[in-house]
Chains A and B, each alone.
Chain A
Amino acid sequence: MSNSNSASDGWNANLRRRTIRLAYWTVAWVATMAIATFGPEVIWPAGSALTPIAIGVNLLIGFGMIWANKEHLRSLDEMHQRIQLEAMGIALGVGLVVGMAYSNLDISNVISSDAEISYLVIVVALTYLVSVFIGTRKYR
């Protein structure tokens, strides 16, 4: 009994630890993204060597976030892993299909503005969030 409890405490603690670690990496990635994006405008002069350094740091932190996300997924139980897998599959598919269609609209000048990758990121993120929500409800 105590072994079972200590094992489950270990499982729960591991999940909590990896979730918090993912949150830290995500916050760090968003912060370094903001610095790399707005740094040349408001912190240092445009054309400074700090710009590629900031982008490089953001890239490294981004790889850290990917690793933390992978570790977080591994710590989930099998049902939540399935929910995540389905959500990521849908988000990837929507991102690919909508992204290519959006690019074609830009190339063929159907839309007047240039295609912005940030719109695609928003579409993928919202699709992922909605898919996780629907998946969670499906197994409720």
Chain B
Amino acid sequence: MKNRLKVLRAERDWTQAQLAERLEVSRQTVNAIEKGKFDPSLPLAFKAARLFGMPIEEIFQDE
């Protein structure tokens, strides 16, 4: 699954650690999601969507 987390994070000038804090996950988990090595659960994906204020499908796309 592709995602735009890294771009959205960079637009807000957040570090991985800061995004991790906001999503209540570890920095390693944010890194793995950004690299496409780990697909988040639906609740976590919705949490990211709420955080960035955009629809979930604009952040995560099926490859």
17 A-B pairs in the complex with CB atoms less than 8 angstroms apart? A5-B21, A8-B24, A12-B21, A77-B24, A77-B26, A78-B25, A78-B40, A78-B44, A79-B26, A79-B29, A80-B26, A80-B28, A136-B28, A139-B29, A139-B38, A140-B28, A140-B37
Q: Does B22 contact A (CB under 8 A)?
A: yes
Instruction: Check B44 against A4 for contact (C-beta < 8 Å).
Output: no
Residues 2-37 of B contacting A (Cβ, < 8 Å):
20-22, 24-26, 28-29, 31-32, 37
Instruction: Check A139 against B21 for contact (C-beta < 8 Å).
Output: no
Q: Does A63 contact B (CB under 8 A)?
A: no
CB distance from B6 to the nearest CB of A (A): 16
How many residue pairs link A and B with beta carbons under 8 A? The number is 41
Interface residue count on the A side (C-beta < 8 Å): 15
Instruction: Check B21 against A77 for contact (C-beta < 8 Å).
Output: no
Residues 1-50 of A contacting B (Cβ, < 8 Å):
4-5, 7-8, 11-12
Instruction: Check B24 against A11 for contact (C-beta < 8 Å).
Output: yes
Q: How large is the interface on B (under 10, 10 to 19, 20 to 34, 35 or more residues)?
A: 10 to 19
Say whether chain B's binding surface is mostly helix, strand, loop, or mixed. helix
Say whether chain A's binding surface is mostly helix, strand, loop, or mixed. helix
User: What CA separation (Å) do A138 and B37 show in the bound complex?
Assistant: 8
User: What CA separation (Å) do A4 and B48 show in the bound complex?
Assistant: 12
Q: Does B61 contact A (CB under 8 A)?
A: no
**Which residues of A lie under 8 Å from residue B32 when comparing CB positions?**
79, 139-140
